[in-house]
Chains A and B, each alone.
Chain A
Amino acid sequence: MSQSFEPHTAFIKLHPSSPLFIFIEAIVKIIFPLVVTFFVSGSYFFQQGWFVAGLALFATIGTVVQYWFYRYWLEPDRIVVKSGILFKELRQVPYERIQNINIKSTVLHKLFKVVTVQIESASGSKPEAVIRVVGLSQLSDIQQAIKNNQTTDPSSAPESSESEQPEEAPLFTMTSGDITRYGCIHWQALVPLAAIFGLAMQSEAMRDQLSSYILSMVFYIRNFTGLHGKLLNGLVLVLMILLAAWLLSMVIAHLKLHGFTLKKERGKLLANMGLLTNLSANIPIKRIQLLRIRESFMHRALGRQTLTMETAGGVTEQTGIVMRWLAPLAKPEQLPPLVQDIEPRIDLNQTQWQPLSHKAKRRLFKKTAAILLTVIALPTFFWRNECAWLLLSAPLWWWYASAWARFAAFAHNEHYVAFRSGVLFRGISLVKINKIQTIHLTESPFDRRNNHGGLWVDTAGSNIALHHINIPYLDKTQLLKMHQQLTRQVSHSQFVW
């Protein structure tokens, strides 16, 4: 072990501008939450100047030390990262195990001509290595080393050779109209707005300040509108805030997704996007575990869909740079060819969707009714009898159950399993047979009464909060047949991460 602590090749230190980037990262991750805590609770410690100064000093020393002791080097078959002073860590990541390489470059990065590189493998919820930051020539060295090793991997050959694209021809590009539509649908500016509002509500002084500010705004608006009544002018204010958030969301979308392109190169997907902060991701196609198409009611109104993917490895937005998009927003007719370019065996146009049990509508209605009746009964008994008026929404429940049952369907053939469902927020998930890990049959007491059952499959790196293959309300005979077939298929297919 002691031997391997020494580099076989000359080690590479981080770029001299690194402490700055590490410091910024520390500010965002450690100091910002602390400052927020200060505003919320008005902690005693923060009123002492020495505490803040000490914290800043500690962070500065920490970043310099981190920079000083962080080095990496490229061996013929692996990248080795050495870091830490008291607790030393030596991490060796074989090139062929690398799942994704994400490269981030903000305006500050561009100024120093450097990038942040994040390397992910299939394991853990954190990236294997975040190299913060290196010069562009070091980046191309890393990329070249990974490229040379992964192309010799024989298992990637059969899949990639089937539909080799000429280089430089992108599979998908996003028009600026679509980026604007994306901002329109996603309301991303509402998140920070809600966070600021929530934060202000925590402390009494800020709450008073905010409410007096809002009130003054309402009066200010009254001068313009000439309307009387606080409520009416308040409504105008809310509409104005929403409009501003909406416009801001579009700007954010442009900053984030500007020039989104997806290319295919030697069995890998290369995605590139961003105006001020440029993010480029490199994902081997064979590492894709699940494909997901999303379509909310807003998407439908604008005639667009979103295509995302899941890869093995559980890096989340909290732990690193995440790239899940294949097409942030595209016309529905653009997606089947795109999916087929990525996975030649998945042809969405030829997918034979099969309906769930004919009792699905009734069962979903009963379930919805049981839940909502309880929800309505509680305030009716304990608070006000008027809450019972909510029962008038019952036709809506029926409409929901009908709409759900009409759209919900599954597909199963020799190459993949697919499931679609949803009413306001629709989702379609596709999983190739060789990416299935385990198969579950489920049966609730209600399923037993109706001779039904459900089926779900587990994949690597899946996010259960999002739409996935979880098919309910299937007739038992159909279910058992499908299960038997699926088990046989999975056990005869080889899993490649």
Chain B
Amino acid sequence: MKTFDYSALAPSYLSILKLLTWIWSAFVMVPVFVLAYFAAENLWYHAAIKAVSCWVLFGVLINAYVKAWYKRYQYALTEQGLVIHRGVFWRQMIVIPRNRIQHTDITTGPLERRKSLAKLIVHTAGTRDAHVTLHGLLESRAAELRKELIVATQDDTV
């Protein structure tokens, strides 16, 4: 039975997260721009300055949070099962015992594929944890984990 100690997510995943943060926060700024446009008596450049400065401030804050989140996110494979630590303010440690895993999926998005990343989705029979996602794994690590988790010697009698 293969085990490994706590590891962090792939560093390239952090850069994807940061990029995505800037993109979605820009979308959030669209209504801000519209509001600012009417508040600034239809002067578009005033509104644009306000929206862009809001975007930068918001983006920097969210990025700091994302960085802290990434730093705290760790996973390990023990003899008992998959252990995940996550959360910045409200922290969690999730243990998914090997013999409770029903099946696993590996999926990759277009951005993740460019950086050879993948995410592993572990399905259990639970309700809130019907599927637990492990983001930002290197493809090789995801495949290795999946192979290791799937050979659980469970004799299921559903």
Contacts and interface: CB of A to CB of B under 8 A. Distances in A.
Interface string B63-99: 0000000000000000111000001011111111111
Given A437-B124, A464-B127, A490 B158 contact: no
Interface residues of B, number: 28
Contacts of A153: 157
Nearest to A461: B127
Residue among A96, A437, A483 with the most chain B CB within 10 A? A437
Contacts of B156: 495
Contact of B96 (A438, A444, A488, A494): A438
Given A442-B92, A491-B81, A122 B158 contact: yes
12 contacts: A122-B125, A436-B100, A437-B126, A442-B91, A444-B90, A460-B127, A463-B127, A483-B95, A490-B97, A491-B79, A491-B98, A495-B100
Nearest to A486: B95
Interface of B: 79-81, 87, 89-100, 124-129, 132, 154-158
Interface residues of A, number: 34
A439 interface: yes
A98 to B, nearest CB: 11
A379 to B, nearest CB: 28
Nearest to A455: B93
Contact of A438 (B79, B89, B126): B126
B99 A495 contact: yes
Given A444-B91, A445-B90, 10 more contacts: A155-B157, A438-B95, A438-B100, A439-B94, A440-B94, A443-B90, A445-B89, A458-B128, A460-B125, A490-B100
A377 to B, nearest CB: 24
Nearest to B98: A491
Given A439-B95, A443-B90, A495 B127 contact: no
A497 B91 contact: no
Contacts of B96: 437-438
Contacts of A494: 99, 154-155
Given A97-B158, A122-B125, A458-B124, A491 B80 contact: yes
Contacts of A461: 127
Nearest to B156: A495
Nearest to B95: A439
Given A437-B124, A487-B97, A491-B80, A458 B129 contact: yes
B137 to A, nearest CB: 19
A396 B98 CA distance: 47
Nearest to B155: A494
A390 to B, nearest CB: 29
A492 to B, nearest CB: 8
Nearest to A454: B92
Contacts of A464: 127-128
A122 B91 CA distance: 31
Contacts of A483: 93, 95
B2 to A, nearest CB: 15
A56 interface: no
